[in-house]
Amino acid sequence: MNMKWKITMMGSFTLRVRGKEINLGATMGKQIASIFAYLILHRDRAVAKEQLIEIFWPDSRNPLNALKFAIFRLRKALEELPGAGGPDWIQTVRGGYRLNPAADFELDIAQLDKIALRADGGDAKALAALVQGEFLADLEDSWIAEERERQWQKILNTTDKIAEELEQNELYPQALNLYKTLLAVEPFNDQVNYLMLRVMIRQRQYNEAIHYYKQVAAAFQKEYGIEFLGKSQALIYFISVENGETVTLDELVSSLNEEISEPLAFFCDRPVFQKLYQARVREIQRSRDSFYMMMLELESQEGSQPENDQLEYLSRVLESELRSSDIFCRISKSQYAVMMNLRRKEDGDIAAQRIRTRFHKRYPSDQAKLGYHVCEIQPMPMPAAA
């Protein structure tokens, strides 16, 4: 290993050496590059053969031979790269393989880990420079999808901490540069759009903030066919109210009676949901109306907790697919509850199937599983006479 490498994993999987930039996926082949990336990610330890087989050859009839041949190809590919020592990079150890601990190279995600530990405002420029795109954007494997979300969440958490220091010190250009870099990767991320709007508002650029939000919301509506919701919308609503004109009672009643172009289901927090539920129970006791409760539960692969983007999308699907008279609430990390006025339970099953179909168009069942239960809301028993 006679020349130091610079390896990038955020964005395309690339090697920079001797002034050249080499796409490792294109040079090695995607599977070999994915194996190399996995060994780099776990560079602090040996990786068992069984673990590699489970990830890369779960259905192979002869996975051990496939693994050995892949390691041979990886070593050969490394040997042919400029500035490499070939087989020195990959060591065979008892029961598995590992990246040579003596390998001297620069790695972007290692630098990201250091920045995440400090989360200092002075790291804003360095963090922005690291975010070249999604983790291993040009490779696709099940392990990559999971790690991609983990790395992105690390970036968002670090950005949150850095943002507060930048904005308190009124370093708005540095903050905006960082936010714009992240939005180039994920333009509809509510958390980063919220930070963008917050910077504008702190500079009293209210009209610019409203215009920016409308552009993002319109693009999201065009892309997904549903409304862009979240902290960004709440912030824009707040400044719109703060800067709005006073009205008379008649004007207020008139505006409240105006038709809503796209009536959506009502989302609320759990205390409000509980009060509305109790009101429904009392209504059942007084009338013949039938109300039903639907419970939706989302699970990711192998029963793990769902990812944030899956939950956000499910919330938007619920808001657009349910009727304007329906009420829904998020009651845990992975569960939503819905109250519906229905004639029969089967109508609730139909609504749930419609929601599942819409959700699984974006997230197939092998990525996330959406289950549901429907039951009728029963009136509370009358207290016994004394």
Same CATH topology for 137-242 and 266-376? no
Backbone CA torsion sign across 98, 103, 109, 113: positive
pLDDT digits (tens, 9 = 90+) for 5-32: 999 999 999 999 888 899 999 999 999 9
The per-residue pLDDT for 243 is: 56
- Over its C-alpha atoms, the chain yields an Rg (Å, rounded) of 27
On whether the 266-376 domain is CATH 3.30.300.280, my answer is no
pLDDT digits (tens, 9 = 90+) for 289-339: 788 999 999 887 666 667 777 888 888 888 888 887 888 888 887 889 999
Q: Is the predicted pLDDT of residue 122 greater than 90, yes or no? A: no
User: Torsion-angle region of residue 287: left (phi > 0), alpha (psi -120 to 50) or beta?
Assistant: beta
pLDDT digits (tens, 9 = 90+) for 144-175: 988 998 999 999 999 999 998 998 899 999 99
Q: Is the predicted pLDDT of residue 2 greater than 50, yes or no? A: no
Instruction: Find the helix packing angle between 142-168 and 308-321, rounded to 10°.
Output: 90
The per-residue pLDDT for 385 is: 47
Q: Is the predicted pLDDT of residue 182 greater than 60, yes or no? A: yes
Range 187-200 average pLDDT: 91
d(CA 88, CA 76): 11
In CATH, the architecture of 137-242 is Alpha Horseshoe (1.25)
Mean confidence (pLDDT) of the chain: 85
Question: To 5 degrees, how large is the angle CA 220–CA 226–CA 229?
Answer: 75
The per-residue pLDDT for 372 is: 92
What CATH number belongs to 5-107? 1.10.10.10
Range 180-186 average pLDDT: 94
Range 208-221 average pLDDT: 89
User: Torsion-angle region of residue 4: left (phi > 0), alpha (psi -120 to 50) or beta?
Assistant: beta
Domain coordinates of the chain in residue numbers? 5-107, 137-242, 266-376
The per-residue pLDDT for 365 is: 81
Question: By percentage, how much of the chain surpasses pLDDT 70?
Answer: 88
